[in-house]
Chain A
């Protein structure tokens, strides 16, 4: 119930705060005070044809209720999801429903509304939508800053870097926590707190920073609890055309290698295809050469850049929305290359995880700037290596740490509140990561505490602008805007409704390394996300096997209870030794360990 309230909860217009409940309940009594637009339109549903409906627009959402008796259709779209609003047809256009608005969304759908052709009937709707979907262009605040929802749990408390590093056993003899970036003066896109080799002084770090793109020096992401090999992340070295070298950088990587005495090589994974890494030299970047870094081995992981990924997702949309390619499904899916990219990202992460898990060597991961592909690789490798990140809170920490705090440019990649839909900075890198997680959870259905809904709600609010979680490009910007004070965290919503996002099949297994099979034979398109708007494809929710399992679990609990009651009733003599060992905990040894 609290979730429902959350979804349809408080919305603020101007300076007034009022709570209103479900639109469905009493739309008439809401009054124009809250609703910026309230008018009759025709929603051109790509699946069921034109549907007459009433549309309400607030500064947070577009809501449409069908006025036709045989259709229960409801649209409820946060304005943050809108990437583009276009006028379709003109006042003189012919044909039915040819005049109206065409809205492109970031979540794989388009919305088309037809309006009456007279009296500029679409003008107010167009203007209001433009204003509130793209608040940045109108000097308006993003909705998250106006949202006054309250939750039982404070999601901003989920991630505390010191605690997370302590969980990993840090600092230790070889690794220290440095506050050199406390005011973001070493690197403005890194978090304030960094873990670096004990033997590298702050001055060393400053010198290394000059040789790394955007000063993103190699810092620790994760340390193996037993063999103590580490995953480091950074940006590309500034080698350039002339093949510049930097003794400090070379020494620094050697210091990282030496934190493990038993191995004599350091492995560097450059996420890019070899040719791109070479091409980057022209703009001053590059990669670690053999000559300069004697004790390091470099591998390229062939993952393409943000532009390739953006175009690939566009093609996915073309084949799934509104109509799904039927008889040529596989070849059209192949032509999008989306799953091939997923395969390469997963393959890269498996390599990183295997290197560390086998204790072969410590690993340094970078791409160009170390905030897109690098974040994908380190976080996926950590997910494979560390079962903690497969719990709900662990995953939140993983996202908070590897993505949010280390400066994945959410604002640029998603374009929150920004009207420039064609911005070349936009790219579905985070979506691709979540897709990889989904693929893993599909291959290991008992290994993750969270379910598919959890991943989908994260993606929904990646765009919605209702929470502050994904706003801005880096920690320093977030701090400046006081995001944690002025907005609500997405984890507040999720953690106060945890049951909804739990996978009943979850079996906690500490120290189990998960290696998914990165083969096209196993990868599939995430239908429940990419094709969820199509009523013909929509999968049964909840999954019938899951539902049956839940029923069984409930039955089990009921029997345990009944057995307890019977025991109490049947054994008034407490001295009888034969009855006492049958307490449920002893009777069900493996139940206790599994759940």
Chain B
């Protein structure tokens, strides 16, 4: 009844050149008509979540083995997510669903995760925003986690189309008030059953003790002191309630410029330490300038005298990256992975390197890693302290300082150590997540993926030195996704002050804050923890104590480190040559069925490792049992991955999208060779046909 619809745009009318080609015709869509009526999937709502609007008989288009398949279902929009409810999981076996994301289903898109919405009108793809005069026949949603959804609305009732399309546009694009964030309604509703994990050891840095502990851990307590001068954010709302400054710094200096111009301690090592400092406000008035100058001179004098000696100042506001550059690069880069269909994938394939490079995203990663190495060289080889300077000390300061710590401090390569680092440098350090992720849709100008850039830099390190980390790339990928899930409050505030005031007003208790530091815990089902937690990594607690000779050259320092086998418990530097900086394939390619390697990819070796790991554990238990009793239990612990020897390279993210083992064949041909044309025309060999 539905399959015989007439395709629009036919006939002799001169249509404008289509900018979007729908590769699926209604007659090509294979649907099981029974599904339409019989399979109703119930909408699962989180505590506090409310249904806003919905539409039925929406067709979700899925690419499968180079043909398109349509699944009928309901499209709903709540105050938390957009969800498609259809019988999509029919072909999935248990192995795959075992690794389901607990919060976000395969067809769920949180409102914050929506990046762009397109409508298809007469085969033309247009960006949708604001009030619509005409409603599209197809809705395409590009997500910030790089998923692409196609919803065909051709068979949906007109008023339902209007309601759902304008609902989705409104709830994802209209500016929002902070207090309207879903996490508040969730917290209120879920208060009773928010479980705190007692095993959570991540340090939150919201008490004086946390800072003292960190000082002690890094042996910085001789020269630095934790201060509570900003308790209750009396001095500055941008600074945390507690922080660490050089011991001789008079506490009364802190409030002079509302915390600006105060060197705030980040981290110490045996040979130096890193500070960050926000720049003083730019003043026109000569008198004020003079006062500022005198103040800074005083500060420098304080930190220049023994035991601080030399301080190298790195001004990250100039001579390094601009936030604008980062944003532009990422917008171009992500576009390479937001692929509408198979044809587009293969059409862009042969020319893929060029746009990937011209986005500069990889080059920006390289520059960040290089900057971190430069700073490490100062700290490690030249025994200098480093002062990172930035206007608000909350973007590139966070990035560079945390990269330095990941490379120098093995504790930061453990799971809790890494979470503590994120907490210290980014959350308490006042990175404006709300603005940088544009969660409230208030200003596009502030949107810059600084934290994502940091994760990508860390990924490069994890990729190059997997045994040095307690976590795997999957952990980082999941972490990057949780930026857009407004259940965890971690990434939804601009500063600890903002969080404290808002959480306080709403009488929220800490449990929520607790769970956010470890968004991973319970995010996947417990078994997957195995995968996320890098079993290769050992608990590392040793502090760096290698003594590097003083070298005045970055290259020399770097080459000398590279010439030795890496010590996974010590200083860890990335390789930054062109071929070494790679695309974070797991994050960027995971939803693209064409890019899926069936039964291959890194997960193939990882699952072998896990298998052996489990076996060794089982054997170990058996040996212990043997010691205790004669009766050996023959309990066969279910192996995590045993039955699924052929995981896809997209595991555990995209569920198996290609069911058959048919190969994917590139559909685009060869491009011109340009100046080699004459060579191409030549014969392989001179064919002498005299004797034929």
Interface residues of A (CB under 8 A from B): 210, 213, 238, 240, 273, 275-276, 279-280, 283-285, 302, 304-308, 311, 324-334, 337, 340, 343-344, 347, 350-351, 353-354, 358, 367-369, 372, 425, 443-447, 505, 507, 509, 512-522, 524-525, 527, 531, 535-537, 540, 544-545, 548-549, 552-553, 555-556, 559-560, 562-563, 566-567, 570-571, 576, 578-579, 581-582, 587-588, 590-591, 594
A548 close to B623 (CB less than 8 A): no
Is B409 close to A, CB under 8 A?
no
Residue of A nearest to B583 (CB): A521
Q: Mark B580-610, 1 if CB is under 8 A from A, else 0.
A: 1111010001000011111111101100110
Residues of A within 8 A of B466 (CB): 544-545
A552 close to B612 (CB less than 8 A): yes
Q: Quick one: given A552-B609, A559-B619, are A284 and B689 in contact (CB under 8 Å)?
A: yes
Question: Count the A-B residue pairs with Cβ separation under 8 angstroms: how many?
Answer: 244
18 contacts between A and B (CB under 8 A): A273-B680, A280-B687, A304-B680, A311-B679, A324-B578, A324-B579, A445-B601, A509-B645, A516-B597, A517-B594, A518-B665, A520-B349, A527-B579, A537-B575, A540-B566, A544-B466, A563-B623, A594-B611
B679 close to A343 (CB less than 8 A): no
Q: Quick one: given A304-B673, A347-B666, A446-B604, are A515 and B598 in contact (CB under 8 Å)?
A: yes
A517 close to B595 (CB less than 8 A): yes
List 7 A-B pairs, minimum CB-CB distance, nearest first.
Answer: A329-B578, A515-B663, A330-B357, A559-B619, A334-B353, A284-B689, A330-B353
Is B320 close to A, CB under 8 A?
no
- Bound-complex Cα distance A273 to B671 (A): 11
CB distance from B485 to the nearest CB of A (A): 27
Q: Quick one: given A305-B680, A324-B579, are A563 and B608 in contact (CB under 8 Å)?
A: no
Q: Mark B614-644, 1 if CB is under 8 A from A, else 0.
A: 0110011011001100111010000100100
B673 close to A337 (CB less than 8 A): yes
- Bound-complex Cα distance A213 to B688 (A): 9
Residue of A nearest to B345 (CB): A519
CB distance from B681 to the nearest CB of A (A): 6
Residues of B within 8 A of A326 (CB): 366, 577-578
Is B613 close to A, CB under 8 A?
yes
Residue of A nearest to B367 (CB): A327
Residues of B within 8 A of A519 (CB): 345-346, 349, 352, 594-595, 664, 666
A327 close to B673 (CB less than 8 A): no
Extra contacts, 11 of them, besides A306-B684, A520-B353 (Cβ < 8 A), are A276-B680, A327-B366, A372-B684, A443-B601, A515-B598, A519-B345, A544-B465, A544-B466, A563-B622, A566-B626, A590-B639
CB distance from A61 to the nearest CB of B (A): 25
Residues of B within 8 A of A562 (CB): 623
A578 close to B619 (CB less than 8 A): no
Is B559 close to A, CB under 8 A?
yes
Residues of A within 8 A of B601 (CB): 443, 445
CB distance from B142 to the nearest CB of A (A): 18
A545 close to B536 (CB less than 8 A): yes
B619 close to A563 (CB less than 8 A): yes
A545 close to B579 (CB less than 8 A): no
- Bound-complex Cα distance A520 to B352 (A): 7
Q: Quick one: given A331-B358, A588-B615, are A444 and B666 in contact (CB under 8 Å)?
A: no
Q: Quick one: given A284-B687, A340-B350, A563-B626, are A549 and B577 in contact (CB under 8 Å)?
A: no
Residues of B within 8 A of A507 (CB): 608, 645
Is B231 close to A, CB under 8 A?
no
Residue of B nearest to A368 (CB): B684
B578 close to A327 (CB less than 8 A): yes
Residue with the greatest number of chain B CB neighbours at <10 A, chosen from A324, A354, A548, A591: A548
Q: Which listed residue (A305, A444, A520) contacts B604, Cβ 8 A?
A: A444
A537 close to B580 (CB less than 8 A): yes
A329 close to B559 (CB less than 8 A): no
Residue of B nearest to A562 (CB): B623
A552 close to B683 (CB less than 8 A): no
Is B356 close to A, CB under 8 A?
yes
A285 close to B578 (CB less than 8 A): no
B350 close to A517 (CB less than 8 A): no
B689 close to A343 (CB less than 8 A): no
Q: Which listed residue (A275, A305, A591) contacts B615, Cβ 8 A?
A: A591
